Structure 1
Amino acid sequence: MSAAAKKGVVLVTGVDLAPQAVDILRDYELVFAGAKPTEDDLLKLSTQHQPVAIIVRYGGITSRIMDANKALRVISKHGTGIDTIDSRAAQERGIAVKAAAGANAPAVAEHTWALVFACAKNVVGLDARMREGHWDKSTHKSLELQGRTVGLVGFGAIGRRVAATAVSLGMRVLAYDPYAKGTPPGVQLADLDTLFAQSDVLSLHCPLTAENRHMINAASLARMKDGAILVNTARGGLVDEQALISALNSGKLRAAGLDSFEKEPFAAPHPLQGVRNVILSPHIGGVTEDAYIAMGTGAAANVLTVLEAEQAIA
């Protein structure tokens, strides 16, 4: 189909989409914004191309971008977190906001456990010591997870997968999620105070909202067990980084594993780089080949669902 015969433009805030996603959108012209599009970049492209849909990989979608064209009908996230989209502004303008729910759940759940194990067993620290010529067998003590309590903040697709692994390890599982309808065997719903007080491992799996920003702060960290582990594969804004650094340096927390940060990309120099008992990764929990395909096809399918529904009504 020639560009002139296409049904409209879909703007992608990235450099590519999985071929399977491109095929789903074959009746639309795809315009790619590049690896690190700014608001001005997206504003210019929106004005120029008048997209009927935006697939969000990188960068944010503001009201200014929405107002740059009158054709926009749907903003579709290439993933699950929609905090980079001004959803209220979209609702006010009658623009649908969709997420590829669950598309990256297996990948993020696996990365969560990679960070938990690395923290509990001090994998990174021991590797560094070995490379320096040390043999710490007589002095090192790892944390055994069997019989310990893991607290999950959020019990959606990712949290449920993390819980299943915890149950298989013989751990006690507590979960906080005001929207959870129920839990599988081995998982108990609890309030946040209970999670803070009883968790040996606290893992975050909830979206970022205005209400829960910095939910991990000096007060909540003080309520946690001495020697607990914190893992965040959700959104960086959930954690007050300065309060976390204090808890790690004081020994209040045994360790932390972070895959997301208050400001991304993570820019050096950063205070976390000098903290020995934190493990850092560049928000790649959901970055696998399988997740790339699932997020792309999910985002593309969401675009078609909204546009085709509107076309049917028209």
Structure 2
Amino acid sequence: MAANSAKPVLLVTAADLAPQALEMLDDFELVFAGKQPTEDDLVALCAQHKPVAIIVRYGKVNARIMDAAENLQVISKHGSGIDVIDQEAAAARGIAVRAATGANAAAVAEHAWALILACAKSVPQIDVRMRAGHWDKSTHKSFELEGRTLGLVGLGAIGRRVAKAGLAFGMQVQAFDPFAKEAPEGVKLVPLEEIYLTSDIVSLHCPLTAENRAMLNREALNQFKRGAILVNTARGGLIDEEALIEALASGQLRAAGLDSFAVEPMTTHPFQSVPNVILSPHIGGVSDAAYVNMGKGAAANVLAVVAENARNVA
């Protein structure tokens, strides 16, 4: 891990990478920042080791970190969400930003369905009641999916997988995606407002941008069908969290399943006292296979950029 190694240094904002990714990066000296690196940790490591590349697993990479890494050529995301990287600052410094697009798509889609089903069938709540000695067969009614409408916001690699499962459940599937030129068979492209107005379940699968931050505010949530379910395995910043709590309390929404939050890690939050919200700690993309795929994808992006820069210099 010495900075004077003959190999170029690659900084990983985590404590580990998949062995398959490590094999791909054998020509680099790898420096691991630990499980929860702070901005100051990353600045110090960049100043010490002068990495040519950063693989981002945890935390954010801002201009201050970039400026501490004077040899930095590429910032490669261990996953698809590059909103944790200051892309404007990177562009201004000639630093490439890459995402391991699609590497965790299957894992996130599966987790979205885990949350949809848990919300529709009240799985966590019924489990708690059973453990407390209750038998709610005479009073419980779950939310049946067949014949209902599933609305997807975003129809990329993840959204398409979620759509396929929805069709298999016998649902009507519709999607909003301003960049989608066509939809899979059985999926209808509709305006965003129609998603809100007509969907029984709305699932978010879009990146977070300056334009769509807090897109699900009070006005939007009030457009939802009363008793709808909202699932978010995308980015927490898409939702006005206070407005969502109000919608859950009023019955405007039946339930919500959330895997991402405006501020992470989320350890203390009003959500924790809301009975009809199901919470998970942004682990939708964390599976055995996705860990390998994201590591390999992030490594491949580093190798491609560094090789291209070397050819340009030559």
Q: TM-score, normalised by structure 1?
A: 0.97
Percent identity, please: 64
1:272 paired to 2:274: no
Give the 3-state SS of the residue equivalent to 1:83 in structure 2. Answer: helix
**1:59 corresponding residue in structure 2:** 59
**1:151 corresponding residue in structure 2:** 151
Question: What code does the residue aligned with 2:57 have?
Answer: R
Change (3 A) 1:135 1:69: closer
Cα drift, residue 4 of structure 1:
6.0
**1:232 corresponding residue in structure 2:** 232
Question: What code does the residue aligned with 2:142 have?
Answer: S
CA distance in 2, matches of 1:6, 1:167: 54
**1:41 corresponding residue in structure 2:** 41
**1:201 corresponding residue in structure 2:** 201
Matches within 5 A, 1:174-189: 174-189=174-189
| Structure 2 alignment gaps of length 5 or more | none
Cα drift, residue 70 of structure 1:
2.2
**1:297 corresponding residue in structure 2:** 296
CA distance in 2, matches of 1:23, 1:130: 48
Cα drift, residue 291 of structure 1:
0.5
* Contact map agreement 1:152 1:202 (CA 8 A) in 2: yes
1:17 paired to 2:17: yes
* Contact map agreement 2:9 2:50 (CA 8 A) in 1: yes
Matches within 5 A, 1:71-86: 71-86=71-86
Question: What code does the residue aligned with 2:305 have?
Answer: V
* Contact map agreement 1:6 1:27 (CA 8 A) in 2: no
* Contact map agreement 1:203 1:232 (CA 8 A) in 2: yes
CA distance in 2, matches of 1:80, 1:290: 15
Question: What code does the residue aligned with 2:171 have?
Answer: M
CA distance in 1, matches of 2:3, 2:70: 20
Give the 3-state SS of the residue equivalent to 2:167 in structure 1. Answer: helix
1:115 paired to 2:115: yes
* Contact map agreement 2:3 2:48 (CA 8 A) in 1: no
**1:258 corresponding residue in structure 2:** 258
CA distance in 2, matches of 1:85, 1:127: 39
**2:50 corresponding residue in structure 1:** 50
Question: What code does the residue aligned with 1:272 have?
Answer: F
Question: What code does the residue aligned with 1:200 have?
Answer: D
Give the 3-state SS of the residue equivalent to 2:98 in structure 1. Answer: strand
1:217 paired to 2:206: no
Question: What code does the residue aligned with 1:148 have?
Answer: R
Cα drift, residue 5 of structure 1:
6.2
Question: What code does the residue aligned with 1:213 have?
Answer: R
* Contact map agreement 2:3 2:50 (CA 8 A) in 1: no
Question: What code does the residue aligned with 2:91 have?
Answer: Q
Change (3 A) 1:240 1:3: closer
Q: Number of residue pairs matched?
A: 312
Cα drift, residue 130 of structure 1:
1.3
* Contact map agreement 2:167 2:186 (CA 8 A) in 1: yes
CA distance in 2, matches of 1:233, 1:297: 22
Cα drift, residue 184 of structure 1:
1.1
Cα drift, residue 137 of structure 1:
1.2
Cα drift, residue 3 of structure 1:
8.2
Q: TM-score, normalised by structure 2?
A: 0.97
Report Cα offsets for 1:200-228 as digits up to 9, x if no partner: 00000011111111111100000000000
* Contact map agreement 1:233 1:259 (CA 8 A) in 2: yes
CA distance in 2, matches of 1:158, 1:105: 5
Question: What code does the residue aligned with 2:189 have?
Answer: L
